[in-house]
Structure 1
Amino acid sequence: MDFLAGCIGGAAGVLVGHPFDTVKVRLQVQNVDNPLYRGTFHCFQSIVRQESVLGLYKGLSSPMMGLTFINAIVFGIQGNTLRLLGRDTPTNQFLAGAAAGLVQCVVCCPMELVKTRMQMQGAGQRKVPTCTRKVQTNLYKNALNCLMCIYQQEGLRGINRGMLCTVVRETPGYGVYFLTYDVLTQWMGCGPDAPYLVIKLLLAGGLAGSACWIATYPADVIKSRLQADGVGGVNRYSSVADCIRQCWQREGWQGFTRGLTSTLLRAFPVNAATFSTVTLFLMYMQEDPGRRNCDLASRAVPSQAEPSGL
């Protein structure tokens, strides 16, 4: 049930937030000397005008394909780690979330690599009349073809491009994520019979997601640039340190916040949808009312000595 709840919650989050993620990636990796987009709204408008609404959903299949594994890992590891730690405290919530974030990087990094490469296809490419030849041919047919091409050209190292940045982002990020959700749900009193429960869960999940991204966003910028590096046949960065150095020298601290507005606009509805869907699904799908309340309480207000596994 936890596995299924995680999948459904994650799917809801991906469908809500993927257009914002596409805008974020485009802003993060665009050339600062010759930028295609002036800001979040201009980027969104340009993608729709040049590539249609479907352009906002480029690379969607990749996160959907990895969704099952990532949510199973995250919710399973977090719940079992919290149980192994013995006591449900804010510190243990952070440690359990960090452990979940670390383990799921194995799936998350290749998935986001494919997503980024797919999202970059057609960037800045304008529509041309059907009677003329296409200006550019897409490199990849779909997410699986993209993964196979990367493996054939770069091997396992290429598939795991950006792994260090992913670990640096995901490990503390998920710690902040679950800690914030725990603190907020307890503060708002999100028990099974609480009034306005859905609104409270949406608010807690959205704020938890926003806090997670604010805490780790610079690492995400570097990860996106490394994973997009080489698209078009040009490699700009030789290592993580070189990427950080070039970003700082050319753009200053602003370079590490590119796309943050789009990310926060995406983070709130995505994580609100994810956490509330998971919580409410478990609440209503359990056959035994007593167990149902226990599951909801352990997820929405984790205050049990022996919390049930997420």
Structure 2
Amino acid sequence: VAGVLVGHPFDTVKVRLQVQSGDKPQYRGTLHCFQSIIRQESVLGLYKGLGSPLMGLTFINALVFGVQGNTLRALGRDSPRNQFLAGAAAGAIQCVICCPMELAKTRLQLQAAGAAREYRGALHCLAQIYRREGLRGVNRGLLSTLLRETPSFGVYFLAYDALTRGLGCEPGARLLVPKLLLAGGTAGILSWLSTYPVDVVKSRLQAD
């Protein structure tokens, strides 16, 4: 939950920058986007759509770690290849929750300040989309979400496992918490870098 609260403003800026027109961009860059949102919509504008990831967080975490652990056991040997495959399987399965959740989040993040609000919240957003477009509309961007999440989770679990082993993150080890934070942060960066172009495509599709 803390990670979502800290990261959501950056995610809002990311989505705004990803979907803006290349010909006449509204924002000149990350800092200008932050400043513009705060000036026009207040700090709360950075937290638009926050309810959606908060609602899905528990289900996604349970699904990811359950699928990853069971897949790794089914594959037998704990190897880098199997770590990647188990992570990729977890990433693919959780898309059934992640895709609608991110669709609602994206639509709410892009909802203009001062205009008549089309969506009152995440559930209302999904209900409105379903009423107009059916299940296909609720799952808009599913393929791009799969193409992002599957390799991204594979890279994350592979990198995290390799880093925790390399840093000596055994229980009781010296500086265990900083080492785990370094491993998790680095693995997260690598997983995002590996699939960021697909994330841009997904944001554009879900914004329409």
Asked if residue 173 in structure 1 is aligned to residue 163 in structure 2, the reply is no
How far, CA to CA, are the matches of 1:32 and 1:184 in structure 2?
Answer: 38
Identity over the aligned pairs, expressed in percent?
72
Give how far 1:52 is off: 0.6
Equivalent in the alignment of 1:14: 4
Asked if residue 68 in structure 1 is aligned to residue 58 in structure 2, the reply is yes
Equivalent in the alignment of 1:204: 183
Asked if residue 218 in structure 1 is aligned to residue 197 in structure 2, the reply is yes
Q: Of 192, 213, 233, which residue of structure 1 is paired with 2:171?
A: 192
DSSP-derived class of the 2:21 partner = coil
Equivalent in the alignment of 2:122: 143
Structure 1: gaps (5+ residues): 1-10, 126-133, 230-310
How far, CA to CA, are the matches of 2:43 and 2:119 in structure 1?
Answer: 19
Structure 1 segments, 4+ long, off by >2 Å, are none
How far, CA to CA, are the matches of 1:56 and 1:192 in structure 2?
Answer: 38
State the structure with bigger RCO (CA 8 A, min sep 6), 1 or 2.
1
Equivalent in the alignment of 1:304: none
Equivalent in the alignment of 1:85: 75
How far, CA to CA, are the matches of 1:57 and 1:75 in structure 2?
Answer: 27
Give how far 1:12 is off: 2.2
How far, CA to CA, are the matches of 2:2 and 2:147 in structure 1?
Answer: 26
Output one character per residue of 1:122-178: Cα deviation in whole Å (capped at 9) or x when no partner: 1xx5xxxxxxxx5x2111111111110000111100000000000000111100000
Partner letter of residue 140 of structure 2?
A: R
Equivalent in the alignment of 2:37: 47
How far, CA to CA, are the matches of 2:172 and 2:59 in structure 1?
Answer: 32
Partner letter of residue 142 of structure 1?
A: G
Give how far 1:30 is off: 0.7
- Count residues with an aligned counterpart: 208
How far, CA to CA, are the matches of 1:94 and 1:144 in structure 2?
Answer: 33
How far, CA to CA, are the matches of 1:50 and 1:194 in structure 2?
Answer: 48
Task: Let me know the Cα RMSD of the aligned residues.
Answer: 0.8
Asked if residue 157 in structure 1 is aligned to residue 136 in structure 2, the reply is yes
Structure with the greater alpha carbon radius of gyration: 1
TM-score, with length taken from structure 1 = 0.66
How far, CA to CA, are the matches of 2:20 and 2:27 in structure 1?
Answer: 8
Output one character per residue of 1:210-261: Cα deviation in whole Å (capped at 9) or x when no partner: 00010001111000000001xxxxxxxxxxxxxxxxxxxxxxxxxxxxxxxx
How far, CA to CA, are the matches of 1:227 and 1:67 in structure 2?
Answer: 20
Q: Of 82, 87, 94, which residue of structure 2 is paired with 1:104?
A: 94
Which protein is richer in helix relative to its size?
2
